[in-house]
Structure formats: C-alpha cells, structure tokens
Amino acid sequence: MTKKKVGVVFGGKSAEHEVSLQSAKNIVDAIDKDKYEVMLIGIDKEGKWHLNDQSSYLLNAENPKLIQLNKSNEHVAIVPGDENNQLIHASKSVPLEQLDVIFPIVHGTLGEDGSLQGMFRAANLPYVGSNVLGSSVCMDKDIAKRLLGAAGINVAKGLVFKRNRKNEINYEKAVEFLGTPLFIKPANQGSSVGVSKVYTEGEFKQGIESAFEYDHKIIIEESIDGREIECSVLGNDDPKASLLGEILPKTEFYSYESKYIDETGAELAIPADLTEEETKRMQEVAVKAFETLECGGLARVDFFLTKGGEIYVNEVNTLPGFTKISMYPKLWEISGISYPDLINELIELAIQRHQDDNDLKSSV
C-alpha cells in the first residue's frame, strides 16, 4: 500500500508557538508510520518556513518550558495555482515531494484564524480542520458569541471595545452591568493568552493593558459561576460529540500555564461526573455550536455548567491542543477512538472535504 504523504505544519508567530511545538511532537510520535509518510514544516517566530528532519526538529523536546524549534537551513514556499508543484524548496527553487494532505497544528493568530487555511485552499492543498470561515469566526470571540447567541445558545454577557474606544472603558460601568469578578480577554487569542480575572479597579486597568497587548479588540465579560466542562467534536457534515471532561483548576482560573506547562496546575476529570441527561444535553449543544460556527473536521467546545443546570458556551476552539495533557484527544480516547485512529480520521475527513470542494463548479 502506498503511504499518504502528510505535511505537519507547526510553530508560528503567535503567542502559542511553544504549545504548537508540543502538539506537533505528539502527532508525529503517534501517527501510523505504516500508513503515512511525514514531512515536517516548522514555522519560526519570524514567520519563516523550515523543512525539518524528524530526528532533530525540536530542541529540549521533553521540557515544555524550554522547548524550541530547531531552525534548518532549508526553507519552504507555497506556490498557489500550480496543482503539481504547490510546495517548493525556497533556497534551491526546486519542487518538493508533493503532499496528499496538510495537518496544520499552528495554534493562535496566523494559524487557526483562517490565514493558513486560505493559503492552503488557494494552493489546492487538502488540510485538516475548519475552512477559512469557520476558523476566522471561532477565533474572534466577539463574532462567535454573537452568532451563538443568535442561534439560541447561552453565552456570557460582555462588553466589546476596540483600541480606538479605549478611553470609553469605565470600571464602574462595567461592574454595574456585569458584576464582579470580571474576565478581560483579547478577542482574537486562544489558550488563555492575555486573559485576566480581576476583582479591583487596579487589576481592571492592568487587565485592559494586558489584553490590548495581544489584540486590537478586547472583551470584558461577566464571570459565570459554574463547572468547566469540555467536549470534543469530530466530523464534517455529520459531526459527532465525545464524552465530556471537566477542568478542575488548582489556580484562579484555567490559565495558559495550567493548560500546557504545569501538569499539576489542574486536574482533568475524564469522564466528567455528569448525569446521562446532562451529558446528552451538552453533547447536543456542542454539535449545534460546531454547526452554527461552520466548523469542520475538529473542534473543542468549552462550557460552563451552572448549579441550576444552565449551559453556557465559553468558546469553540478549531485547532485544540494535541499535547500529552490536552483534553481533545483524551476525550476521544475514552469515547473509543485511539490517538492514532483519531489522526487517521482527521486526515480522511480533510481529504473528503477537499474532494467535495473540488467537485463544485468554479465557472458557469
């Protein structure tokens, strides 16, 4: 059997660069080597694409605090419009071995916001994950929550400010409308990057400054008193929901450090201690959110479940972490899909969607 050639694209310019390196390592370690031949393309923090060797693509690979991309002297470029030579060796100006599918695991800005997806679509390359629309909509928490709310899905109340309205932000008015504590978030970031939970006016001002360091638009949001539940969704036109997991943070909230660096920063209750009725309701909402936001392939839907049984969607992540402590693959594992089988299914979904797209008419 001829092996499919899979390009794993990882790293990137976002604040989640190191998370992406960890995710890539886990995917490369787990992928079925009898079915797939892997090409590694690492994007450094300046945005340059490196052709990497599997034996040396990471430095300090076992230490999340020190992990780094090992930059190579071989660079990659994409050529849109050439179906036979989409990828070329930038230094030698010769075509590279062509890929059957791309597995982009670049988290955050310029990775899961539609940027990479648009590039791959223009180059006619199949890729894992949501399309341009689904990726960009889910990346923008403001737009995503407007669409979820319009679909009848509960989301936290919030105030949205762009940088040009920064002088209108008022602590007293925010507290009057949203109560305390408050969450302050960049609208277009993931993995809790730039997020603050604040109780005082001083913390509020610091949180505003911090959030604006990562985006031109921020959200000031009410705090929902509820359990943090997560659900993995898989599929294209007929998505399915996994069993549920619960985050039990040992810190003030489920921070970037707790998610990816400190394995003792939070406990994961997998599966979550929920009734059958609660599980079913949240699975239904997860699939509805996935479809509402035009997701495809995969997404992790994060919830709050209140004591009164109300379900709130906190966010939908279209390229969730694949690290060894990440919820997305862990939930599919307990739902009956092993890590290697999950990677295989995602690749098959990507190829099928690409074929469906290419079957559409492009001219009259």
Specify which residues 316 forms β-bridges with: 301
The predicted structure's pLDDT at residue 253: 55
Going by DSSP bridges, is the β-strand pair 4-11/101-104 parallel, antiparallel, or unpaired?
Answer: parallel
Cα radius of gyration rounded to whole Å, the chain: 20
Close Cβ partners of 30 (under 8 Å, ≥ 6 residues apart): 339, 340, 343
Give the start-to-end residue ranges of the domains of the chain. Answer: 4-127, 137-152+225-353, 158-222
In this predicted model, what pLDDT tens digit does every residue of 268-300 receive, in sequence order? Answer: 999 999 999 999 999 999 999 999 999 999 999
CB 148 within 8 A of CB 314: no
Helices then strands, each counted (H, E), the chain? 10, 18
Does domain 4-127 fall into CATH 3.40.50.20?
Answer: yes
Which runs of consecutive H residues, i.e. helices, occur in 73-156? 115-122, 132-139, 141-150
pTM above 0.95, yes or no: no
The predicted structure's pLDDT at residue 257: 57
Helix (H, G, I), strand (E, B) or coil at 267: strand
Query: In a 10 Å sphere around its CB, with 0-12 CB exposed, 13-18 middle and 19+ buried, how is residue 165 labelled?
Result: exposed
In this structure, the dihedral spanned by the alpha carbons of residues 64, 12, 196 and 303, taken in order and rounded to 10 degrees, is: -90
How many C-beta atoms surround the C-beta of residue 360 within 10 A? 6
User: What is the Cα–Cα distance from 329 to 340, expressed in whole angstroms?
Assistant: 10
The predicted structure's pLDDT at residue 75: 92
In this predicted model, what pLDDT tens digit does every residue of 310-328 receive, in sequence order? Answer: 999 999 999 999 987 889 9
The predicted structure's pLDDT at residue 364: 76
The predicted structure's pLDDT at residue 297: 98
Fold of domain 158-222 = Dna Ligase; domain 1 (3.30.1490)
Average pLDDT for runs of 10 along the chain of length 364: 93 90 95 96 95 94 92 88 74 85 92 93 94 96 97 98 97 98 91 88 97 96 97 97 92 55 73 97 98 98 97 96 89 96 98 94 79
User: What is the Cα–Cα distance from 358 to 150, expressed in whole angstroms?
Assistant: 31
The predicted structure's pLDDT at residue 187: 94
Instruction: Look up the CATH superfamily of 137-152+225-353.
Output: ATP-grasp fold, B domain (3.30.470.20)
User: What is the Cα–Cα distance from 35 to 56, expressed in whole angstroms?
Assistant: 22
The predicted structure's pLDDT at residue 85: 66
The predicted structure's pLDDT at residue 259: 52
Angle at CA of residue 307, ends 302 and 309, nearest 5°: 65
